[in-house]
Amino acid sequence: EIAAWEVGGVMYLGTNIGSLKTVKAMNTAFLAANPDLPPFITVDQEGGYVERLNVSNGFPETPSARDLAKKTDPDGATAVYSKMAKGLAELGFNVNFGPVADVDVNPANPVIGKFGRAYSADPMTVMQYDAAFINAHESAGVLTALKHFPGHGSSSTDSHEGFVDISDTWSESELTPYKLLLDHPDTVANVMVMVGHLYVGDHGDGAGVPSSLSRYWITDVLRGKLGFDGVVITDDMEMGAVRDHFELEDRIVRAVNAGVDILLFSNTARPRASIADDIRAMPMG
């Protein structure tokens, strides 16, 4: 399917990873399948709790965002992330789904704050460490993705598990890391933005429509107000926040109409080898 240009990329989760030797062999095969248009070979490798490659499979550990920001300055973070990015590149990865641009508004947040995935409660600090992550990966030839737009740091629930309403907790300050980074187009020239499944009340396309399916958030705010002209990718389209409220075809149509470029599917909710064929066969009204 990669050779036939029917699948644009693959994503590794922890369950996909055995030995690093096997990972490298698989990635080499993926890249060779279509050398004229190489697929995205992606992984979530933030450091800390969220890292698919770790000591259990022979990859060096990296601190969480919060711990790294406490231990070193952005220059020191660049050195840490350079080592990680070079390791990913050597294995054949060309996309790392990070850095987290969420502001640590709610330290008790069950998916961001709890696991130290945000660098700081200060948006400027978040931006500085995001830039360190981005620059280190770009030097290694690995693309990155700012996440989770427009901000998952203030939530009290987890979008993996179900609907996330941040209407009463979200503020404009959570857009600040994006604004600051997008003011430096050279830094974000090869950066995607990953849109989260987050509902922000009056800010959006109507009751119950999360940001990942929202033309307001993607086209009006991210593209229009913030001026982002790069690739927009969704968070996993099988997460509970969207899976439990929108049928598969509806999710796809809404996301594309909202301005998304890439739809991400983990194929974990109902795993099947035919997922790409199933999506292509949909009537898509």
Q: Are the CB atoms for 257 and 246 separated by under 8 Å?
A: no
| Coil, helix or strand at residue 258 | helix
Pair 191, 256: CB distance under 8 Å? no
Residue closest to 265 by CA, chosen among 234, 232, 245, 236:
236
In angstroms, rounded to a whole number, what is the distance separating the alpha carbons of residues 70 and 82?
A: 18
Taking alpha carbons only, the member of 63, 45, 55, 61 closest to residue 20 is: 55
Residue 179: Cβ within 10 Å count:
15
Q: Name the CA dihedral angle for 150, 157, 271, 87, rounded to a multiple of 10 degrees.
A: 60
Asked whether 145 and 191 are in contact (CB, 8 A), the reply is yes
Which residues are the active-site residues? 160, 235
